[in-house]
Structure 1
């Protein structure tokens, strides 16, 4: 599964190609708010862990195992929700988790968590591994973890994080000669923008269009 595979002008592997397909499917299902996205997230994280190990991206490799754990948590949250975030229109027990937005305090906590994660991960990668990109890997690994945690709670801001992270990952993966994965993350940028607009509409937030709530979208809950 990790043997070279020549596609047009670049070389990939069957494992990277499989991970590519699974990841696109995962993000598409996330945009549609389908809980099955978490199943494919688990599988794609496992396959990408092997891809990143081969490229000495140890931060990204370790992140995949965290993603698997967060995916199990997120799957449960999306299916069950909680009493504070249930949609008022679907308020019976068992209703799923509603799309909500962070308040000012939540945004500061996210920024602080990202910064702290970057400092710790960059130090660890530089000190204990042979990676040649400890700072880039640490920054993007921390950001990805923040984005995944926000996604698990259906916070609109997860898409803002993913847009930033995905743009920067394109450059990192080109540097590591993971051309197919770089293309994947370029696709992810567009999908993250689409996801942001779809979730804003679902939460009843302005999307830069008519400013309406899309007709019956979920209420916005600020925390």
Structure 2
């Protein structure tokens, strides 16, 4: 049995829902990545990278081509975020990445990017139904995840708000799509997001300063 075949084999069943190894392992690593992001540790990015690699197999198992594409983008953004945090300015007290609120201009870019990206990806998924069985919800999650990760890479508190909005759609979509463990993990994500949002919010108020030296506003 190949590694991919094992990853996509059933681990166990709960209330009629079949849990596969790739779904469970990939999302568990994703939870660890979110917790590391809460702690502003640069290790959040290699964890997100590994989670994305495993979840590619999970999405292949249920023929969610759109989900595979999303994970490939997540992997690329994780590599970029890892590089950015590795050379970013760190908090003088504990060595972790300093955080801040986005400027109004940056918020405008994030919202516009999310809206236009969702329209573009949703249109693509609609034109090619084999990419996703739920094109607009999948597009919303796809683009929302990328927006959240970009905001996280720049140390913006708003990244938590973006994750929360993704969770609101991600929970029912994953249950309906056959990735039950992903659905359960998104519920836990919601709780972690609220706690992480509070922590970053408070830390951002300790001193108003740019998150990274040389980073554009």
User: TM-score band (shorter)?
Assistant: 0.7 to 0.9
- Structure 2 gaps of 5+ residues are 1-6, 212-216
Q: Deviations over 1:87-116 (max 9, x none)?
A: 6858xxxx7642111122211111110011
In the TM superposition, residue 218 of structure 1 has moved relative to its aligned partner by 4.4
Give the match for residue 42 of structure 2: 35
Instruction: Give the TM-score, by structure 1 length.
Output: 0.84
Equivalent residues of 2:41, 2:96 under 8 A apart: no
Give the match for residue 219 of structure 1: 208
Give the match for residue 4 of structure 1: 10
Structure 2 SS opposite 1:7: strand
Structure 2 SS opposite 1:194: helix
For 1:161 and 1:89, how far apart are their aligned partners in 2? 27
Structure with greater proportional helix content: 2
For 1:16 and 1:88, how far apart are their aligned partners in 2? 35
Any runs of at least 4 consecutive aligned residues in structure 1 with deviations exceeding 6 A, and if so which?
none
- Structure 1 gaps of 5+ residues are 205-216
Equivalent residues of 1:78, 1:96 under 8 A apart: no
TM-aligned CA distance change 1:218 to 1:63, over 3 Å = farther
Report matched runs for 1:157-172 at 5 Å: 157-172=158-173
Structure 2 SS opposite 1:132: coil
What is the RMSD computed on CA atoms of the aligned residues?
2.0
TM-aligned CA distance change 1:88 to 1:96, over 3 Å = closer
Q: Deviations over 1:165-214 (max 9, x none)?
A: 0121001011112111100001001111111111111111xxxxxxxxxx
In the TM superposition, residue 123 of structure 1 has moved relative to its aligned partner by 1.1
For 1:122 and 1:96, how far apart are their aligned partners in 2? 37
Q: Relative contact order, CA 8 A, sep 6+: which one is greater?
A: 2
Structure 2 SS opposite 1:11: strand
Structure 1 SS opposite 2:12: strand
- 1:119 and 2:85 equivalent? no
Instruction: Give the TM-score, by structure 2 length.
Output: 0.86
Aligned length: 203
Equivalent residues of 1:57, 1:137 under 8 A apart: no
TM-aligned CA distance change 1:193 to 1:6, over 3 Å = same
Q: Match for 1:14 among 5, 17, 21?
A: 21
TM-aligned CA distance change 1:176 to 1:219, over 3 Å = same
